[in-house]
Amino acid sequence: MIFICFVAVVLFTTLSALEKYEGSALLEIIPESALDQKSLQKLEHGELMVDFWKAAALPGQKSIALVRKEFKREVAKYLRKHKLKWIKLDFNVGKHIRDVHFTWLEKNKVKKIEEIYSDWKRFPYNEYNGYEEISSLLSQINAEFPNMTRLVTIGQSYEGRNLSALRIGTAKRGIWIDAGIHAREWIAVSSAVYMIGQILKDYNKGDPKVRHLMDNISWYILPMFNPDGYEFTRTTDRLWRKSRSRNNVSSINCDGVDLNRNFDVDFGVSGTSMSPCSHVYCGPHAFSEPETISLRRFLKENERNLVAYVALHTFSQLWLMPFGYGANEFPLDINELNATALEAVQALRSVHHSKYHVMTSGQLYPASGDGPDWVKTYTKIPYCYTIELRPDHYRKGGFVLPESEIIPTGEEVYAGLKAMAEHILKKLPKN
C-alpha cells in the first residue's frame, strides 16, 4: 500500500509551544502527617494546575510536583499556609523539553509517506510517529497479512479518531495491550508500535518461541488509546495528560478527562478529582467518555477469550498489579499475579539490565477508577497489569525521553510480555 503524498508534520511549530514550561519549577514535597497528606491531595486536585509526577501514598514518602510559572506564587503561598516542607529540584523541565525536541522538530517537519509505508519493515520504529503514520502502518500490515492479522476498531475518540487495535494471530485466546491512555506518555505508544513490528518479524523468521505463542495466543495491541490527547501533545502541550473532550469551562487547560480515572470501580474516591481543571479529573460520571465506553464494550464482548489485560504507561520502571484504589487492597489471586510478574521482570531485565519492581498500584499511590482495576473486578480476564516503562527517575527525562530510548524500551518490555504470555500459557487448560 503506497500513499503518494506528503504529510507536513508541523510539531511544536510555534515558539510558545516549546516555551510553555519555561520557568516552571519541579518541587519535592514530603507530607509528614496524615493532615499534611490531605493538604497535599487538595493541592493536587485543585485548580492551580499542579502536575504530580509522583504522589505520596503514605506520610513520609516523597511527592514530585511540576508547577507552571504562572502558578508558582500561589502554590508557594498554599504550601506555606499549610506548613508543608518542600524544596525546588535542580531539573529544568522547560529546557529539557526544548533540548529534546528542537532536533526532533527539524527532522520531522516533512515526511514522505511513500517512503515510510511502502514496506512495514522499513517503518521508523525508532521515531515518535503521529496518529496518521501509526494508523497507516496498521492498515498496511493488515493488507499484507490478511490471514494473520485483523484491524479491530473498537470505537472512536471524542474528536472522531479511530481507536484501532491490530490483532496478530488467529488463536481463540488473546492478550490485550493498550498504550497511550495518558497523552504525554509517548514511549508507551512507541513501545506498543515496536512490539507489533517485532512480533511479525520474529514470526516470519521462524522464531520457535514466538511461533509457539502465536499458535496458542493472539495479541491485540491498541497503540493509541487517547489519540486526541496524543496529537495535542505533538502540537500544543507536550505534557498534556488527559483526553480532549470539552468540559464547558473557559480555560483550555480545563478540557479533557483523565481516562484512567474514568472507569466504574471505586469511581471518584481516591487519587482523582472532580475539578475539570485537574490533571486527574475523573469526569462527570464513570464511563462518561467515548474512549472508555468503547474499551468496556470490547472487553465485555470478548472477556471469555482474553487471558490478560496490560496497560502500558511511563514512567518509573514498575510492573504493577491491582488494586490501585488502596494500599492494602489485593485481588484473591495476588500470589499468582505476583509470580507471573516476577518472571516477566526477570526476562525484561535480561535484555538491557533495567530494574523493574513489582508491587500493586495502590502501594505506589492511590488511584481509583483505573482500567486494570475495573478489568480485574468486572470481567473474567484473570491477569491484569499496568507497566510503567522507562525511565526510573525524573532526572533521566521523566515523560520526555529522547528517541534513542525507544528501541531499548520496546525490546525489554517485549521480552517481559513474552515471558508473561509463556507463564500464562502453562497455567491455562489445554484447548
- Decide: 142 and 151 in contact? Cβ < 8 Å: yes
d(CA 386, CA 179): 10
- The cell numbers describing 49, all together, are 494546575
For 159, list phi and psi in degrees, rounded to 5. Answer: -90, 10
Please say whether the beta carbons of 187 and 401 come within 8 A: yes
What are the grid coordinates assigned to 425, written together? 500459557
DSSP one-letter code for 263: S
| Selected catalytic residue, list 133, 388, 411, 412 | 388
For residues 283 and 48, give the distance between their C-alpha atoms in angstroms, rounded to a whole number: 18
Strand ranges for 306-363 from DSSP E: 306-314, 318-321, 357-360
Question: What DSSP assignment string belongs to 103-143?
Answer: HHHHHTSEEEHHHHHS-GGGS-TTS---HHHHHHHHHHHHH
For the purposes of burial, counting CB atoms within 10 Å of the CB of 46, is it exposed (0-12), middle (13-18) or buried (19 or more)?
middle
Contact 371, 181 (CB under 8 A): yes
CA distances (Å), 359 to each of 41, 68, 182, 327, in order? Answer: 22, 31, 21, 10
With both helix axes pointing from N to C terminus, report the angle between 186-204 and 406-427 in degrees, rounded to the nearest 10: 60
Alpha-helical regions (H) of 261-328: 290-302
What is the rounded distance in angstroms from the CA atom of residue 86 to the CA atom of residue 93?
18
- The yes-or-no answer on residue 388 being catalytic is yes
- CA atoms within 13 A of residue 29's CA, in its CB half-sphere: 34
Q: Of 46, 44, 128, 195, give the one whose Cα is nearest residue 399.
A: 128
Q: Which residues are catalytic?
A: 388
